[in-house]
Structure 1
Amino acid sequence: MDTAFVIIAGEWIAFMAFIFSLGFLYGGKTERISKQYFEQSVLVFVLAIVVLTTIRLLAPGLLIVRVIPGTVLTGLTGVTLTTAGLLFATWARIHLGKFWSSMVTIKSGHHLIRTGPYRIVRNPMYAGMLAALVGAAVAVGELLAFVVVGIIVIGIWLKITAEEEILQEKFGEEYTRFRREVKSLIPYVL
């Protein structure tokens, strides 16, 4: 587990450095930002801290229970899922180009991206990041890791909802058609 965790942590650091450096170097001018998402994400973050702290105080050790055995196969599975997920998310980031933002925004000259991974799912960065998070949780193997993934899923779902609202407003029927034709996170399913 230790080697797998070090590899996964390195992959996440490289991924985050890549996406944010591209944003700083090539980011487009923001035309509109969703304040709703920012407020919701802060609320989820605060609630997560309160819940995790309460569990820690009332039942120390509860979330540190191993739910997946720490084997070489588990570590390999975790690393593989993380690598595949982050590569998929990187592919999406490249296709978004100057329209990417860590916040929910519309950029100047924004147009709907339907190339590369956006032909497969509407939210490929999130799909890839979720796969990578599940991979990390598998490698760690403890209940806490899966609880954290659950909290992040809630945050991502809030962001997807806010993005879809702002994109629907900006692109109208074009975005409605995209939503009908391409699933959100899992091809042909969800």
Structure 2
Amino acid sequence: MPLYSIALVISQLSLIILIMWNGKLVHWDIPSLSIQFLGIFVALWGVFSIRIGNFNIQPEVKAENLVTKGIFSVLRNPMYTGIILLFLPTILKAHSALMWIYYALLVTVLILKIYREEIFLQEKFGEVYSLYKARTWRILPYIF
């Protein structure tokens, strides 16, 4: 794995740990729990759609087939969507600028991983991937 990819993976995991360590992960109100359960649901749907054996945290493409079914028919990166949604209530209820910085950095790292992964997917799957990109969203429908 190239050094840049290693740095992205380590950054992602480090920021997740920092958010979990410094914030209250579960808030027992219906809006917060709903957002977090949605995040868990989307992420798990993505993991099961891609098949657990093909799950990969590095940007380099491991799969031999482009997964376009299930949640991947709408989102290209449902696990990242899940991470963003899971930690959103923690950040919204945090009274710390540092937590907001951690979250912004986490989202930035995820976006950098997405762009890197898209390069590999484009190289590997060519026009098929271009067509897939044209009809799906990266992380959030109608937003990005």
TM-score, normalised to structure 1, is 0.60
Percent identical among aligned pairs is: 22
Corresponding letter in the other structure for 1:91: W
Asked whether 1:77 is paired with 2:45, we answer: no
Alpha carbons 1:89, 1:126 under 8 Å: kept: yes
Q: Provide the secondary structure at the position in 1 that maps to 2:104.
A: helix
Partner residue in 1 for 2:115: 161
Residues 148 and 157 of structure 1, relative CA distance in 2, 3 Å threshold: same
Mapped partners of 1:35, 1:174: distance in 2: 28
Matching residue's letter, 1:113 = V
Find the aligned partners of 2:28 and 2:101 in 1 and give their Cα distance: 18
Counterpart in the other structure of 2:67: 113
Number of aligned pairs? 132
CA distance in 1, matches of 2:91, 2:6: 26
Residue 138 of structure 1: how far off its partner (Å)? 2.5
Q: 1:181 aligns with which of 135, 139, 143?
A: 135
Q: Determine which of 52, 59, 77 is the counterpart of 1:104.
A: 59
The aligned counterpart of 1:122 is 76
Deviation at 1:75, TM superposition (A): 4.0
* Larger Cα-atom Rg: 1
Deviation of 1:178 after TM superposition, in Å, equals: 0.8
Give 1:37's aligned residue.
5
Alignment RMSD (CA, Å): 2.7
Alignment-derived partner of residue 25 in structure 1: none
Instruction: State yes or no: 1:172 paired with 2:140.
Output: no
Gaps of 5+ in 2: 16-21
In structure 2, distance between residues paired with 1:142 and 1:74: 19
User: Using a 3 Å threshold, how does the CA distance of structure 1 residues 114 and 136 change in structure 2: closer, same or farther?
Assistant: same
Q: Deviations over 1:95-141 (max 9, x none)?
A: 1112211112332x611001111111111111121111112212444
Name whichever of 140-149 and 152-161 sits farther off: 140-149
Alpha-carbon separation, structure 2, partners of 1:75 and 1:145: 20
Q: In 2 relative to 1, CA 121–158 (structure 1 residues): closer, same or farther, beyond 3 Å?
A: same
Q: What one-letter code is carried by the residue in structure 2 that aligns with 1:136?
A: T
Partner SS, residue 184 of structure 1: coil
